[in-house]
């Protein structure tokens, strides 16, 4: 990478940043829900990482290149930081512009643009050259896109002397990714910023991100995690709109009904669910499902609590094996809900998942990430043969920064 960097940019890199793939065990589609103090269980992969080599610039230009052959172009992509000044608030400006033409560099550009237009930061006027290499597969649900955004956020902060806390970087990176047209939360970014070697994280999103360290699920029971790729889950066009519809229902429609219903969310969830409409008509998205989306969030919240309890009880080597079937039940419930309540499965995902479940030692399978393709997350009690494309994941550090000599 260093030699390639020199050949592209004409000089040696000065900084290296690496970021781990986000593995969400439970809590998908929860980080953008405003009416519930939702949680997610995640970790950063030690096996799949994105690496960025950087050389700061004294001017306001950013130049980007990648080693990945499916993303390479004839010349590196560049932009002037000064071109990113916006006249209105961040989300208002993005909504008025619409999503940019699809390009991997937009995730880095969005991070820079966010910082340029953040009123509480100092002036952003120093650019950088960055070379990206990665073994996080794109369109897989392991959030290679968020890894690009986190790299862009960290690098821009470093070269411009910004002093941000981990939570501030995570929240800002989540909002920065709206630049590409999606409207998700910050689960991916929080994982990549806060993850620790050998541990899982429990992320609580309301009223402000709180991150607790959990023991790895491999302790005691020997619960192991694998990903199996199905087909690309592209974020553009119809898939992006389908994801944004899920966000829209949770952020705009359901809160309005909850204000009118006025019951206790946790004690009266079934009563609230019965009073929500099955569907509503929306000018942009057409007929959207409301009750199913609410049911999914409440079920996922309960699954996270149950999983945490199981892991705590299973952390003793003598207790671990007896709880493995319970973990399988939790994952099976999640799989059914992403299919029936969210509709994020495809026929190919269903076919591959059925083949995996039939293998000895597999406890359960769930969707990794937003769905509509990408990776399946597989939990197993031992090393199993899931095919040559399967990747075993262990909890690693979220990100590392190194000064190169």
Q: Are 45 and 140 in contact (CB under 8 A)?
A: no
- Supply the pLDDT for residue 382: 75
Burial code (b: 16+ CB inside 10 Å, e: under 16) for 154-183 equals bbbbbbbebebeebbbbbbbbbbbbbbbbb
- Supply the pLDDT for residue 200: 95
Element housing 157 (H / E) = helix 144-159
- Supply the pLDDT for residue 236: 67
* Alpha carbon 104 to chain centroid, angstroms: 16
Which of 178, 156, 140 lies closest to 48 in space, CA to CA? Answer: 140
Cα distance between the two ends of the chain = 14
Q: In a structure prediction context, what are the per-residue pLDDT tens digits for the chain, which is 405 residues long?
A: 999 999 999 999 999 999 999 999 999 999 999 999 999 999 999 999 999 999 999 999 999 999 987 776 656 799 999 999 987 889 999 999 899 998 999 999 999 999 999 887 778 999 999 999 999 988 888 899 999 999 999 999 999 999 888 889 999 999 999 999 999 999 999 999 999 999 999 999 987 889 999 888 776 557 899 999 999 887 667 788 889 999 999 999 999 999 999 888 888 999 999 999 999 999 999 999 999 999 999 999 999 999 999 888 876 655 656 678 899 999 999 999 999 999 999 999 999 999 999 999 999 999 999 899 999 999 998 778 898 889 999 999 999 999 998
- Supply the pLDDT for residue 384: 84
Write down the residue that tokens 């989300």 correspond to: 91
- Supply the pLDDT for residue 318: 59
Residues 6+ apart with CB under 8 A from 176: 110, 111, 113, 114, 115, 149, 152, 153
Distance CA 405, CA 402 (A): 9
Q: Are 97 and 180 in contact (CB under 8 A)?
A: no
How is 49-89 classified by DSSP, letter by letter?
Answer: EEEEEEEE-SSSEEEEEES-TTT--SS-EEEEGGGG--SS-
Query: Could you tell me the pTM of the whole model?
Result: 0.93
CA distances from 125 to 128, 160, 305 (A): 10, 7, 45
């Amino acid at each position: 990478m260093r030699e390639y960097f020199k050949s592209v940019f004409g000089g040696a890199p000065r900084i290296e940043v690496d970021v781990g793939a986000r593995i969400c065990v439970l809590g998908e589609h929860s980080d953008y829900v405003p009416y519930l103090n939702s949680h997610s269980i995640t970790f950063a992969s030690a096996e799949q990482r994105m690496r960025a080599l950087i050389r700061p610039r004294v001017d306001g230009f950013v130049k980007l290149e990648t080693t990945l052959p499916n993303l390479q172009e004839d010349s590196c992509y560049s932009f002037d930081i000064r071109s990113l000044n916006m006249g209105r608030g961040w989300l208002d400006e993005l909504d008025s512009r619409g999503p940019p033409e699809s390009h991997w560099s937009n995730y880095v550009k969005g991070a820079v643009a966010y910082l340029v237009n953040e009123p509480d930061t100092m002036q952003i006027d120093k650019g950088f050259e960055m070379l990206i290499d990665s073994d996080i597969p794109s369109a897989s649900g392991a959030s290679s896109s968020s890894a690009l955004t986190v790299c862009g956020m960290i690098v821009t902060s470093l070269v411009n002397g910004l002093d941000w806390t981990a939570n501030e970087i995570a929240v800002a990176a989540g909002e920065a990714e709206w630049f590409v047209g999606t409207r998700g939360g910050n689960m991916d970014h929080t994982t990549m910023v806060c993850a620790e070697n050998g541990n899982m994280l429990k992320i609580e999103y309301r009223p402000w991100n709180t991150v607790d360290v959990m023991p790895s699920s491999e302790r005691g029971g020997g619960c192991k995690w694998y990903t199996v790729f199905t087909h690309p889950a592209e974020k553009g066009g119809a898939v992006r709109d389908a994801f944004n519809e899920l966000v829209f229902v949770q952020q705009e429609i359901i809160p309005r009904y909850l204000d009118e219903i006025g019951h206790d969310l946790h004690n009266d969830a079934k009563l609230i669910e019965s009073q929500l409409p099955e569907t509503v008509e929306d000018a942009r998205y057409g007929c959207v499902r409301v009750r199913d989306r609410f049911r999914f969030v409440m079920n996922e919240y309960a699954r996270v609590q149950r999983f945490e309890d199981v892991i705590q009880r299973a952390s003793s080597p003598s207790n671990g094996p007896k709880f493995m079937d319970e973990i399988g039940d939790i994952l099976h419930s999640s799989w059914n809900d992403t299919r029936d309540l969210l509709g994020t499965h495809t026929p190919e995902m269903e076919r591959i998942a059925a083949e995996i479940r039939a293998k000895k030692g597999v406890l359960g399978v769930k969707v990794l990430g937003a769905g509509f393709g990408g990776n399946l997350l597989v939990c197993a009690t031992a090393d199993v043969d899931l095919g040559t494309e399967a990747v075993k994941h262990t909890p690693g550090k979220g990100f590392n920064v190194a000064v190169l000599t």
